[in-house]
Structure 1
Amino acid sequence: MNNKYEHLYEKTISSQSIYEGRIIKVKVDDVLLPNGHTAKREIVNHQGAVAVMPLTDDGKLIAVRQFRKPLERTIVEIPAGKLELGEEPLACAVRELEEETGYTAQNMELLSSFYTSPGFADELLHVYVATGLAKGESRPDEDEFVDVLELTLDEAKELHKNGEIRDAKTVVALFAWENRVLRSRE
């Protein structure tokens, strides 16, 4: 830790594992606060994930529509998936793009890496821009059911406006895509 910010540090006094699943682990930590008091922190551990913003040569975004059980509805998202143990983010991005959409990309560029919800989770998400796309056959996981969509920027913005695009990674990608389009017009 940087000593410059030591006055903000919360020291872990104890940690109790609550749940260990295939995707997440949940624990409750007792921490010593900077003011000397104690508090509990509920923490979700996740090994990280990637998302891909695939852009076709004719200016469309490849997205997927899928049912999300925590929301009890379908939403439209950019392709994404969790990192396997020891897997490099770029390799995961290449794999997820092809599995979910059937597309491969000549170019993959890291757009950004960010924590999805640092108030309770340590998940780090890496978002890539994929260009030079070639269409192939998708191979979703056996428990994954998706519709592959090709969207113009205006169509994607309308899906965001009407609530079909609501997840953080896709909203970030949408704004980055719009910014990219605006910069290309300058």
Structure 2
Amino acid sequence: MDEHKNPWTITGEQPVYDNAWINVTEYKVINPNGGNGIYGKVHFKNHAIAIVPLDDQLNTYLVGQYRFPIDQYSWEIPEGGCPLGEDHLQAAQRELLEETGLKAQHWEHIADVHLSNSVSDESGSIFVAQGLSQEAPMPEETEQLAIKKLPFEEAYQMVTSGKITDMLSITAILRVKLMLLNNDLQAKYVSVE
């Protein structure tokens, strides 16, 4: 048996909802065991972008905001959407500047992720930004953001204690922590003591 072969058969599809950011489609399917059923899929019209900014003292920046879908306040790394087809690095540079006012001289792409692959096709890219300089933030009109500069280790502790629940942030912070432990970050841009 070829485990990489798609075991699902689509017998029909119907658009259910569409806006500027997502669309929802309901598929009529034959499932892997041969039964008839339905499957709903949320298609994202943007690629998620996440950035871990690190200064030369190993401080990072978190962005706090109230998240409408989960009805709670959330501390996260700088994040945003990249329209499909746009260069991911350019989108990361734009989002970092918009949300924090930071510009970075050095960028490293560290991961590509799927965010909720049981119900959506949302994907994302994670970057580390170093060689930071501060300018004025330029948040979008829908964003009411708080910015917090803190030691990277404190952000890592916020992940391990459950204070950061955003999956992109968790993934990015844990990945950077491992990279720091293994000396896998571009060492000339970060001084580890």
TM-score (norm 1): 0.90
The structural deviation recorded for 1:7 is: 5.3
Equivalent residue for 2:114? 115
Equivalent residue for 1:23? 21
Q: 1:50, 1:169 → 2: CA distance?
A: 9
**SS of residue paired to 2:143:** coil
Q: 1:43, 1:93 → 2: CA distance?
A: 26
Q: 1:120, 1:62 → 2: CA distance?
A: 30
**Contact residue 56 and residue 62 of structure 1 kept, 8 A:** no
**SS of residue paired to 2:83:** coil
Q: 2:162, 2:113 → 1: CA distance?
A: 23
Considering only aligned residues, what root-mean-square deviation do their CA atoms show, in Å?
Answer: 2.0
- Report how many aligned residue pairs link the two structures: 184
Deviation per CA, 1:63-85: give whole Å up to 9, x if none.
10111112222111011111124
Q: Name the % identity.
A: 30
TM-score (norm 2): 0.87
Q: 1:22, 1:163 → 2: CA distance?
A: 32
**Contact residue 51 and residue 78 of structure 1 kept, 8 A:** yes
* Structure 2 residue ranges without an equivalent (≥5): 184-191
Q: 2:33, 2:70 → 1: CA distance?
A: 38
Equivalent residue for 1:141? 140
Equivalent residue for 1:42? 40
Q: 2:4, 2:171 → 1: CA distance?
A: 31
Q: Judging changes above 3 Å, is the alpha-carbon distance between structure 1 residues 7 and 158 closer, same or farther for their aligned structure 2 residues?
A: closer
Q: 1:22, 1:96 → 2: CA distance?
A: 19
Q: 2:160, 2:33 → 1: CA distance?
A: 43
Q: 2:71, 2:4 → 1: CA distance?
A: 42
Equivalent residue for 2:83? 84
The structural deviation recorded for 1:38 is: 1.7
Equivalent residue for 2:158? 159
Q: Once superposed, which parts of structure 1, at least 4 consecutive aligned residues long, lie more than 4 Å away?
A: none
Equivalent residue for 2:70? 71
Q: 2:170, 2:32 → 1: CA distance?
A: 35
The structural deviation recorded for 1:109 is: 1.1
Question: After alignment, is 30-39 or 41-50 more displaced?
Answer: 30-39
Amino acid at match of 1:139: M
